[in-house]
């Protein structure tokens, strides 16, 4: 999708109650533990999580689950978020594929087969919970008889957990196995997930039927990055309305100083 830089509205930033932000996926302890320590010592809040405004004082978390979880565990009452709208072309919803590396493919298959109520079938099935492609060639579909969204997402979480804590896991938008094998020499398998709709993400959050971490992928056009907003302001005991007044004044000053720049091009960052 082509974006006209003159048509992209400034990011909608707001400070909201931490408890009002509803995740749609489980947290990733491997990512949130070191992040929590960095946030504990940070002077500035850099990249706000992105949320969808569902109804009065409730927001579904699109991206930033570990930042939200970390601030919640640190005792923050409020969090700075960017509000985006599923109904506009500023949000694209896709999925991450999982590259499993530094492990044994046969051990992976054994753990998948041990999960209750799932079936691991040869070949790729379009309505599978996930598709597993091994580096040495065999392809499998993971299917399960489930009656609800909660059961489906719980089963999918068990699939991801079977390798998440045992292997090196890389997320990728790529689906071409040949490209993945050459780019990731230690990879042993590729796990491909089905596409989701915004309603699936919203229902997962509202029903506490969480997806596993690192599956949904939200692309936000006009995303606010490197904000560097004072952590002390977020921690302060000011009422929420007063904090938002401060935020809006701070934003007006940033724009007046021309310290906000919009980049329309897609980029690769090598400092993650």
Give residue 271's pLDDT: 64
Own/partner contacts of 7-10, CB < 8 Å, gap of 24 or more, are 8/90, 8/221, 8/222, 8/262, 8/264, 9/222, 10/222, 10/251, 10/255, 10/260
Predicted pLDDT of residue 3: 47
* pLDDT at position 8 over 70: no
110 in the same domain as 63: no
CATH number of the domain residue 28 falls in: 3.90.1530.10
- Kindly state whether residue 213 falls inside one of the protein's structural domains: no
Same domain? 106 vs 169? yes
pLDDT tens per residue, range 76-116: 999 999 999 999 888 999 999 999 999 999 999 999 999 98
How far apart, in whole angstroms, are the C-alpha atoms of residue 269 and residue 260? 19
Q: Is 84 contained in some domain?
A: yes
How wide is the angle at C-alpha 87 spanned by C-alphas 86 and 91, nearest 5°? 40
- pLDDT tens column, 130-178: 999 999 889 999 999 888 999 999 999 999 999 998 999 999 999 999 9
Residues 82, 49 share a domain: yes
Among residues 149, 175, 192, the one where a domain terminates is 192
Q: What count of residues does the chain have?
A: 272
In a domain, 269, yes or no: no
Q: Are residues 180 and 223 in the same domain?
A: no
- Domain membership of residue 127 as a residue range: 97-192
Residue 212: inside a domain: no
- 239, 52 contact by CB (below 8 A): no
Q: Do 83 and 122 sit in the same domain of this protein?
A: no
Examine the domain organization and report whether 165 and 101 are in the same domain: yes
Q: Which residue has the higher pLDDT, 128 or 3?
A: 128
Q: Does residue 63 sit within a domain?
A: yes
Residue 246: inside a domain: yes
Q: Are residues 89 and 102 in the same domain?
A: no
208 domain residue, yes or no = no
pLDDT digits (tens, 9 = 90+) for 19-37: 999 999 987 766 677 888 8
Structural domain total, the chain = 2
The model's pTM: 0.86
Mean pLDDT over each residue of the chain, to the nearest integer: 91
Parallel, antiparallel or unpaired: strands 58-63 and 21-22: parallel
Q: Is the domain of 180 the same as that of 118? A: yes
Whether residue 202 is contained in a domain is answered as: no
Residue 117 sits in a domain of what CATH number? 3.30.1760
Is there a single domain that holds both residue 72 and residue 134?
A: no
Say whether both 182 and 131 belong to one domain. yes
């Amino acid at each position: 999708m082509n974006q006209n830089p003159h048509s992209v509205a400034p990011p909608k930033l707001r400070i909201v109650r931490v408890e009002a932000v509803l995740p749609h996926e489980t947290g990733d302890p491997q990512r949130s533990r070191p992040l929590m320590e960095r946030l504990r010592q940070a002077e500035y809040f850099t990249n706000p999580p992105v949320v969808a405004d569902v109804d009065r004082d409730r927001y579904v978390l699109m991206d930033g689950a570990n930042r939200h979880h970390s601030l919640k565990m640190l005792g923050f009452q409020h969090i700075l978020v960017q509000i985006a709208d599923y109904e506009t072309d500023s949000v694209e919803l896709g999925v991450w594929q999982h590259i499993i590396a530094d492990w044994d493919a046969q051990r992976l298959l054994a753990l998948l087969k041990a999960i209750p109520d799932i079936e691991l079938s040869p070949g790729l099935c379009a309505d599978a919970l996930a598709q597993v492609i091994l580096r040495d060639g065999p392809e499998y579909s993971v299917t399960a008889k489930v009656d609800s969204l909660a059961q489906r997402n719980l089963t999918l979480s068990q699939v991801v957990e079977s390798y998440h804590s045992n292997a090196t896991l890389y997320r990728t938008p790529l689906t071409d196995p040949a490209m993945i094998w050459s780019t990731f020499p230690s990879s042993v398998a590729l796990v491909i997930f089905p596409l989701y709709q915004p309603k699936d993400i919203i229902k997962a959050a509202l029903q506490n039927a969480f997806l596993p971490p690192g599956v949904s992928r939200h692309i936000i056009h006009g995303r606010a990055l490197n904000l560097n907003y004072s952590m002390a302001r977020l921690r302060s005991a000011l009422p929420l309305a007063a904090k938002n007044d401060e935020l809006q004044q701070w934003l007006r000053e940033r724009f007046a100083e021309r310290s906000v720049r919009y980049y329309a091009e897609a980029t690769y960052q090598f400092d993650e």
